[in-house]
């Protein structure tokens, strides 16, 4: 990971688009993709610390699900933990992720802490 204060850009394996999310009781796994497909859950992490989280557009979880892109920020915290903050229809969600990169462009996320304002 590199951070150049003059350019305000991150160089991290997480940068790019991630989708094909599989949720588990402690977090999720995702695959790196070229772009997020329409109406499919995913995340895009940009080099400048901004991000997009594509999630449900509202409280209803009954199919057909309609997604919406929510803007947020991300940064690398202590011990390489990823700090994510996204505003959506519920409010502002802040999470601390423990990230483990796997083979075949997959990542496992353990959600260590989560709060909604």
| pLDDT given at position 90 | 84
pTM over 0.95: no
Beta bridge partners of 86: 72, 93
The count of residues in the chain is 117
Q: What is the DSSP letter of 79?
A: G
**80 DSSP assignment:** G
Q: Walk along the chain (117 residues) in steps of 10 and give the mean pLDDT of each run.
A: 43 90 95 95 96 90 88 91 91 93 91 91
The reported pLDDT for the residue numbered 61 is: 79
Domain count of the fold of the chain = 1
What pLDDT is stored for residue 7 in this prediction?
Answer: 42
Structural domain that includes position 10: 2-116
C-alpha 68/C-alpha 26 separation (Å) is 24
């Amino acid at each position: 990971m590199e951070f150049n204060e003059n350019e305000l850009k991150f160089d991290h394996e997480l940068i790019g688009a991630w989708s094909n999310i599989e949720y588990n009781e402690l977090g999720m796994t995702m695959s790196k993709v070229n772009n997020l497909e329409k109406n499919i859950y995913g995340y895009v992490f940009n080099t400048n610390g901004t991000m997009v989280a594509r999630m449900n557009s509202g409280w209803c979880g009954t199919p057909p699900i309609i997604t919406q892109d929510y803007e947020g920020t991300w940064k690398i915290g202590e011990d390489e933990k990823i700090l994510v903050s996204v505003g959506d229809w519920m409010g502002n969600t802040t999470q601390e992720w423990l990230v483990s990169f796997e083979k075949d462009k997959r990542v496992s996320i353990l959600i260590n802490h989560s709060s909604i304002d």
